[in-house]
Structure formats: C-alpha cells, structure tokens
Amino acid sequence: MLAEFWWIGIIIAAIAALVAITVSLIAAKETDAEKSEKAAKKASELAEQYKRTKEAYEDLKNSLSDYENQLTALNKLKEGTDEWKESVENLNAQVMELI
C-alpha cells in the first residue's frame, strides 16, 4: 500500500527543492544589495580620503613655496646682521613645522 504512494515522496522532494532554490535566490539578492551598499559606503570613504590627501598636498606645496621664498630672501641679506639672524630663525621654525 505504501508503495503505491511513492509519487507523493517525489512531489514533496520537488517542492522542498523549489523552496530551497527560492530561499537561496532571495538570500543572494539581499547579499547583492548589501554588497552594493558597502561598495557605495567605501566609495564615499575613499572620496573623503582623497579630498583630505589633496588638501594636505596643497598645504605642503604652499609651505614649501613659502620656505623657498624665505630662503631666497635670506640669501639676499648680509650674513650676520640682525635681519639675517631673524630670517634664519624664521626659516628654522618653518622647517620644524614641516617636519
């Protein structure tokens, strides 16, 4: 008698397989959505890091330009004068800030 209902077992197995496939597809879609959200967040973080790095580079570039200008002005001064000594002190302080 049980042998007559073997096809019910096949139907139940097929339904279980369909449910498993559906669940895995839904999980995959959620995973893709999560991946997309993480990628967008990471892109935003990278853009902010790029902005900060660019600003730091510009600050460094400006500081080096100021240093070169002060060095040029120092070279025009007579060594040993008060003005020359003050300029050397300013340059040393600027170098310490760069370090």
Q: What is the pLDDT of residues 7-57, one digit of tens each?
A: 677 788 888 888 888 888 777 777 777 888 889 999 999 999 999 999 999
Residue 22 and residue 28: Cα distance in Å, rounded? 10
pLDDT at 6 over 70: no
pLDDT at position 42 is 93
**Token reading at 6:** 């073997």
pLDDT at position 1 is 45
What DSSP line would sit under 15-74, residue for residue?
A: HHHHHHHHHHHHHHHHHHHHHHHHHHHHHHHHHHHHHHHHHHHHHHHHHHHHHHHHHHHH
- Region for residue 77 given its phi and psi (left: phi exceeds 0; alpha: psi -120 to 50; beta: otherwise): beta
pLDDT at position 25 is 78
